[in-house]
Amino acid sequence: MKKLVSIVVLAALFALMLNLPASFLKPLLPSDVYLQSIHGTLWKGHAQAVRYQGKYLGTVNWKVSPECLRAFNLCLAIKQHEPTLQSEFKLHWSRHWYFTDLTAEGDMKHFGSYFKRYRITPKGRFTLDLRELQFAQDELLTVRGRVEIKPMWLISVMRLSLGDIIAEIEPAEDAEQGSLMQISNQYGYLDLAGEVQISPELSYESHFTLSPNNNSNRSVKRILRYLRGYQNNDEVQLSYQGQLVITAD
């Protein structure tokens, strides 16, 4: 009899866990995440008018992946949609949170804050395909994948097309050095080649080479001469250092 009661109690608890409403998520979320119109359960549901740090993300759907539960690892399959940004990814938890199979497509205006200091507005659409992205205690552990921007326009005093930008991201040979991004372009007014070293603390050091091509007009060549300091070589080499800040802008 006791065994039967135990089985019934366990079955009831299991059924209760399976049907916990999605509203139980709210107290578990960071304070800068806002959800509205939550439907479903903890295991499968959706929310509308989701905002992160004030940034509108539209509708977000989530589902617990059974294959992760078999490995005793929490894993959520998440999809997000709004008119200028769509993404989907798997969010895992073992010793720390990390992402896999992260894909996204959207408007370059979402990166406008990084160009503001140069008084430049970026135009174009980006696609993101990251096989792995790991953070722990605000440090970047691993990132590998590919980013494409088609086409990339920089709008300031003049309209400068860099064409299609392709960035390949892999962990550096020395793990303590973080990740390395190799950047190139095609079909632009200029030829672009460069690399960006991103440390685990999200500081970066970048080096780029710009050179004219058959698409370069007089205005572009004038800019190159200005950047070169009126030297006679055909290339311009630029270097930047700074700190990346992950925000919803």
Cα Rg for the chain, rounded, in angstroms? 23
- Pairing of the two strands 203-212 and 236-243: antiparallel
In terms of phi and psi (left: phi > 0; alpha: psi -120 to 50; beta: otherwise), the region of 77 is: beta
Q: How high is the pLDDT of residue 165?
A: 94
In this structure, are strands 139-155 and 74-82 parallel, antiparallel, or unpaired? unpaired
The pLDDT of residue 147 is 94
1-5, 171-175, 210-214, range with the lowest pLDDT: 1-5
Residues 170, 180 contacting (CB under 8 angstroms): yes
Q: pLDDT digit string (tens) for 96-110?
A: 678 888 999 999 988
Q: Determine how many CB atoms are found less than 10 A away from the CB of residue 162.
A: 22
Tell me what pLDDT residue 35 has: 78
184-238 per-position pLDDT tens digit: 999 999 899 999 999 888 889 999 988 888 888 877 877 777 766 545 557 888 8
Which spans in 45-163 are helix H? 66-70, 112-115
pLDDT above 90 covers what percent of the chain?
22
Task: Answer with the residue of higher pLDDT: 25 or 52.
Answer: 52
Average pLDDT, the chain: 79
Please give the single-letter amino acid code of residue 123.
K
